Amino acid sequence: MKESDNYSNLAPLYDKLMENVDYESWADYIDEIIQEHHPECEKVLELACGTGSVAISLDELGYYEILASDLSPQMIEVAKQKALEQNADVRFQTLNFLNINIEEEFDVIFSVFDSVNYLQTDSEIIAMLEECEKVLKPDGLFIYDFSTPLNSLEAVDYLNNEEAEVKDLRFFRTSEYDAINKIHTNTFEIEQLSEDKKEILSTFKEVHKQRIYTLEEMLSILKQTPYHLVAKYGDFDLIDADENSARITLVLKCQKHL
């Protein structure tokens, strides 16, 4: 079994994997936050966009210019095809959010579905925040969510032993959470099947590790950066998050821009 880069072989299966996610509601939630804190926003950058579902849904609102990016070129190719099929006016680009090398500035940068949890150390999160600072306009906001220990404890059982099939690909997922070290590991075994699906032609494995942060830990990291906390929201609503929130969305502004 070959071990491959994350979201390379999984890219064609990703939308099946995420079929129960309500991307339109998620896009509406991001829009609600933007309209609450930066209603003049025009240009938006999404980091770790996956196959582009949130960006495409956000584009349907009709008043944002959106560049959506992801580290995986395979995910970006799927996103471009979806945008073409849905006539969405979203630009897509392969981009590492630890090295945002683009000559544009944005009113809002956002990243959802715990992509930030893939950063394993405080220094990586600080590096990401510094990269975002370079491309934020003076009044710009950075919005991102992260998964907390409560979310992993709630999710690990139903994520474990999941399997699905799309065309000639099949995946199996195992999921485990190390509560002591706060590491959530999802392992995907992916099979390439013959046309009649009777033969396995090749197999691949992707191991996805996320560091799971508490609210206190994340706020402590922010104190080491030039960012000001505008708001912290939980439960997909504009209510104040606390340590009992499973997923927390932070709204930040760089203090240099205040």
pLDDT at 155: 86
Q: Which of 2-11, 91-100, 119-128, 156-165 has the lowest mean pLDDT?
A: 2-11
Domains of the chain: 11-147+214-257 (3.40.50.150), 150-211 (2.20.25)
pLDDT at 163: 83
């996103």: which residue's tokens?
79
CB 214 within 8 A of CB 149: yes
pLDDT at 88: 95
pLDDT at 171: 85
Angle, helices 122-135/215-222, rounded to nearest 10 degrees: 50
- Partnered with residue 54 across adjacent β-strands are none
At 205-247, the pLDDT tens digits run 989 999 999 999 999 999 999 999 999 999 889 999 999 999 9
Which phi and psi angles does 204 have, rounded to 5°? -135, 155
pLDDT at 73: 94
Tokens (6 digits) for 85: 């099929």
pLDDT at 1: 52
With a CB cutoff of 8 Å and minimum separation 6, the contacts of 62 are none
Q: Is 155 exposed, middle or buried (0-12, 13-18, 19+ CB in 10 A)?
A: middle
Q: Which of 65-69, 191-195, 199-203 has the highest mean pLDDT?
A: 65-69
At 81-138, the pLDDT tens digits run 999 999 999 999 999 999 999 999 999 999 999 999 999 999 999 999 999 999 999 9
Residue among 85, 71, 144, 137 at smallest CA distance from 111 = 144
With a CB cutoff of 8 Å and minimum separation 6, the contacts of 148 are 212, 213, 214, 215, 243, 245, 246, 247, 248
At 43-79, the pLDDT tens digits run 999 999 999 999 999 999 999 999 999 999 999 999 9
pLDDT at 156: 84
pLDDT at 257: 52
- Taking all residues of the chain, what is their mean pLDDT, rounded to a whole number? 92
% of residues, the chain, pLDDT over 90: 74
% of residues, the chain, pLDDT over 70: 96
Alpha-carbon distances, residue 235 vs 82, 178, 243 (angstroms): 28, 24, 12
Does pLDDT of 20 surpass 80? yes
Across the range 5-32, mean pLDDT stands at 85
Strands annotated E in the chain: 2-3, 43-46, 65-70, 90-94, 106-111, 136-147, 162-166, 169-178, 183-193, 200-211, 227-234, 239-240, 247-254
Residue 194: pLDDT band (50, 70, 90) is confident
